[in-house]
Amino acid sequence: MSECLFCQIASKQIPAKIHFENDDFVAFEDINPKAIVHLLIVPKKHYDAMSSLKDKDTGMLGKLLNTARIVAEQEGIAQSGYRLVINSGKDSGMEVDHLHLQLLGGSQLNAIN
């Protein structure tokens, strides 16, 4: 999707501070971080949101979570702990209609009640 911001970042049409990249995903810094480490892990293939996924996409989701583990290790926050967040749809606060996993850590995070 050429007009999608995250697709443009993944294809390097728009610059971003990329921390990790492989064939399927790219991880880059959030422009409005909520933690010392706040990275967005984005599939290079466009998916609108969790609600748009099909059963055939479960393998991609497993790879997405594994990528988050790898990035957390790379960022040095795997042992101290981190939070993973996926928003889906406008009511969740999702601002870009492209599935992404937020990785937050680097300090004590407030509990979510």
Cα 76 vs. chain centroid, distance in angstroms? 17
State how many domains the chain has.
1
Residue 31: per-residue pLDDT: 95
Q: Over the chain, what is the mean pLDDT?
A: 95
Q: Does residue 112 fall inside a structural domain?
A: no
Q: Does residue 113 fall inside a structural domain?
A: no
Q: Does residue 110 fall inside a structural domain?
A: no
| CATH number, position 86 | 3.30.428.10
pLDDT above 60: residue 1: no
Tell the burial category of 26 from Cβ atoms under 10 Å away from its Cβ (0-12, 13-18, 19+). Answer: buried
Q: Which residues contact 89 (CB under 8 A, 6 or more apart)?
A: 49, 51
Q: Does residue 9 fall inside a structural domain?
A: yes
Per-residue pLDDT band at 111 (split at 50, 70, 90)? confident
Q: Is the pTM of this model over 0.85?
A: yes
Q: Does residue 81 fall inside a structural domain?
A: yes
Q: Does residue 111 fall inside a structural domain?
A: no
Encode pLDDT of 51-98 as tens digits.
999 999 999 999 999 999 999 999 999 999 999 999 998 899 899 999
Active-site annotation, residues: 100
Q: Residue 32 sits in which domain range?
A: 5-105
Across 33-58, average pLDDT: 96
DSSP helix/strand/coil, 43:
strand
Q: Does residue 38 fall inside a structural domain?
A: yes
Tell the burial category of 101 from Cβ atoms under 10 Å away from its Cβ (0-12, 13-18, 19+). Answer: buried
Task: Of 15, 20, 7, give the one whose Cα is nearest residue 96.
Answer: 7
Residue 112: per-residue pLDDT: 81
Q: Does residue 44 fall inside a structural domain?
A: yes
